[in-house]
């Protein structure tokens, strides 16, 4: 079973963290057969942190974990911090593929989505 971890920065404003958790819930409902489990995880300031989110998916039976950065650009968090948080779990579970998907802002349909939002 594949697990998906939607990773956001995390905020001191709990309502912002709840928005990310809600998106993870919606992804879970829409995932169909693609993902057997979907969770939210955070880089900092909110729980669960990335390693805990990966661990949660593995405890649910994930035999593969996809970490999806919910970021619009490839800044330091996407390029360095998220990989640094994922690497120890990859080392801890070498038998479980744990990969980082492209960040949200790099998605092919992002421009069309932005045009639609701006109308």
Domain segments of the chain as ranges: 2-118
Q: What is the pLDDT of residue 119?
A: 77
Q: What is the pLDDT of residue 67?
A: 98
Q: Is 38 helix (H, G, I), strand (E, B) or coil?
A: strand
According to DSSP, the β-strands at 2-8 and 37-42 are: parallel
The Cα–Cα gap between 71 and 8 comes to 7
Q: What is the pLDDT of residue 32?
A: 86
Which helix (H) or strand (E) covers residue 68, if one does?
strand 64-69
What are the residue ranges in the chain where pLDDT is below 50? none
Class of domain 2-118: alpha beta
Q: What is the pLDDT of residue 118?
A: 83
Q: What is the pLDDT of residue 80?
A: 98
The Cα–Cα gap between 98 and 51 comes to 11
Q: What is the pLDDT of residue 100?
A: 98
């Amino acid at each position: 079973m594949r697990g998906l971890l939607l990773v956001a920065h995390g905020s001191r404003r709990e309502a912002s963290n709840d928005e990310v958790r809600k998106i993870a819930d919606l992804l879970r409902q829409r995932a169909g057969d693609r993902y057997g489990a979907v969770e939210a995880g955070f880089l900092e300031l909110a729980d669960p942190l990335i390693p805990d989110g990966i661990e949660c998916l593995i405890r649910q039976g994930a035999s593969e974990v996809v970490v999806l950065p919910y970021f619009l650009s490839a800044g330091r968090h996407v390029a360095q911090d998220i990989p640094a948080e994922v690497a120890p779990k990859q080392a801890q579970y070498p038998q479980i593929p744990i990969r980082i998907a492209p960040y949200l802002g790099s998605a092919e349909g992002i421009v069309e989505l932005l045009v639609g939002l701006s109308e």
